[in-house]
Amino acid sequence: MDNVGTQSQDGTPHPGTRFGTGHKHPDPRGAGHVVENHGMKTGGYELASPGETITPPELSTPFMDPVPRETSSGRADPAHSARVSFKISPPYGRRRGRVVAVANQKGGVGKSTTAVNLAAYLTLAGGHILVVDLDPQGNASTGLGINSRDIDRSIYEVLHGELAAKDALHPSVLPGLDVLPSTVDLAGAEIELVSAFSREIRLRRALESLNELYDLILVDCPPSLGLLTVNALSAADELLIPIQCEYYALEGLGQLLHNIELVRANLNPRLNVGGVALTMYDARTRLAEQVVAEIRKHFGELVYRTIVPRSVRLSEAPGYGQPIALYDPMSRGGIAYRDLAQEVAARTGLLAGNEGV
């Protein structure tokens, strides 16, 4: 908890922020997708009514056209613009909401950026995805178009047992991608929950009721190993560790792995490290190459093949409340997160035609 607040980004919306555009979004995830509105607050835009089927215009050669297509509303179809050519298909057709905690107690290594952008691409691939923002700084919430001023029901009330998780769900800038947002109040939860009953498994309990609504639940952890991160580890099926391709990249990871052991032994025997994502790679330095080699040596097959480069576009996108898939999908950072999302889908058994991998 002592590390909370060390991040450089303060989550303040950029002056040009476009929150709550009042558009009725076409569903970007393909023809015939049934939009389910789980009785959520609709922020600044309308969702389709429950059960309504939205059929985007016919695509003669899906995902192959170099020119971004326009939907009937005149907006480019995001899945098409982002060239998302893989599909999410829940194993055996059933959602089970596997929970992936994005954790690393270091600040500024790309946790929130990874959670936001993986979630967006998995959604564009047809998934129903939830991002749980467990960081009081709320970077994942802002990055997905949720204005902190609009949040009156957050993960804070859920952890305190005052609100059911489903009542704190907010729709994001992308239909099909929901957020359980955080506010600065959450910083107090680390201390307030210390003496609370079942304090380490509050999040797990809360998410149990949401499992069947989502294909994947990504939990964006704060930069500490305090009670909030312990809650994430207790709720998670697996951990995704973003590692910045910089000097001292592996420093502190021993402590994280030790905590994982403790949680596995005492709270959550099924917890595993599911993957390591390499972030902020700067191809101009020899150092980055050496760091990648060292991380691969250390974690072996756990390291995803896709390396996310350092890209200004990735750092600009949150200021507009947009994931890179909407802001600039063809930027190098966009392409990298799309490819990483496909790898994550394959490894978590969500890739259509690839069940059980």
Ligand X SMILES: Nc1ncnc2c1ncn2[C@@H]1O[C@H](COP(=O)(O)OP(=O)(O)O)[C@@H](O)[C@H]1O
Contact status, residue 1 vs residue 190, Cβ threshold 8 Å: yes
142 SS3 class: helix
Which H/E stretch holds residue 216?
strand 216-220
Instruction: Say if strands 98-102 and 216-220 run parallel, antiparallel, or are unpaired.
Output: parallel
Least Å distance between CB 41 and Mg ion? 23
DSSP tag of 57: P
224 binds ligand X (CB under 6 A): no
Sheet containing strand 170-171, edge to edge, reads: 170-171, 177-180, 129-133, 216-220, 98-102, 238-244, 272-281, 303-309
Nearer to Mg ion, 142 or 234 (CB): 142
Taking the CA atoms of residue 249, residue 251, residue 257 and residue 258 in that order, the dihedral angle to the nearest 10 degrees is: -170
Region class of 33: left (phi > 0), else alpha (psi between -120 and 50), else beta: beta
Nearer to ligand X, 33 or 111 (CB): 111
Query: Cβ 290 to ligand X, closest distance in Å?
Result: 18
Residue 233-272 contact track with ligand X, rule CB under 6 A, x = bound: ----------------------------------------
Question: How many whole angstroms separate alpha carbon 167 and alpha carbon 296?
Answer: 41
Q: Which position among 175, 223, 323, 334 is part of the footprint of ligand X (CB under 6 A)?
A: 223
Q: Are strands 129-133 and 216-220 parallel, antiparallel or unpaired?
A: parallel
Q: Which does 333 bind (CB under 5 to 8 A by kind): Mg ion, ligand X, none?
A: ligand X
Residue 107 interacting partner from Mg ion, ligand X, none (CB closer than 5 to 8 Å by kind): ligand X
Question: Residue 280 binds which entry of ligand X, Mg ion, none, with Cβ cut-offs from 5 to 8 Å by kind?
Answer: ligand X
**Chain residues 274-333 in contact with ligand X, contact rule CB under 6 A:** 279-280, 308, 310-311, 314-315, 318, 333
Helices marked H in 36-151 — which ranges?
78-81, 111-124, 139-143
β-strand partners of 76: 70
Q: Which of 56, 78, 97, 107 binds ligand X (CB under 6 A)?
A: 107
Least Cβ distance, residue 300 to ligand X (angstroms): 23
Closer CB to ligand X, 113 or 234, in the complex: 113
Residue 130 binds which of ligand X, Mg ion, none (CB < 5-8 A, kind-dependent): none
Least Å from the CB of residue 257 to ligand X? 17
| Region 109-138 residues binding ligand X, contact defined as CB under 6 A | 109-113
The entry of Mg ion, ligand X, none near residue 279 (CB within 5 to 8 angstroms by kind) is ligand X
**Helix extents (H) in 200-316:** 202-208, 227-235, 253-266, 286-299, 312-316
Cβ nearer to Mg ion, comparing 8 with 195: 8
CB-nearer residue toward ligand X: 9 or 211: 9
Interatomic CA distance for residues 211 and 165, integer angstroms? 11
Identify which of residues 9 and 272 has a Cβ nearer to Mg ion in the complex.
Answer: 9
User: Which string of x and - marks every residue 173-212 that binds ligand X (by CB under 6 A)?
Assistant: ----------------------------------------
Instruction: Tell me the closest approach of the beta carbon of residue 104 to ligand X, in angstroms.
Output: 6
Distance CA 320, CA 20 (A): 11
Would strands 177-180 and 170-171 be described as parallel, antiparallel, or unpaired? antiparallel
Give which of ligand X, Mg ion, none residue 222 binds (C-beta under 5 to 8 Å, depending on kind).
none
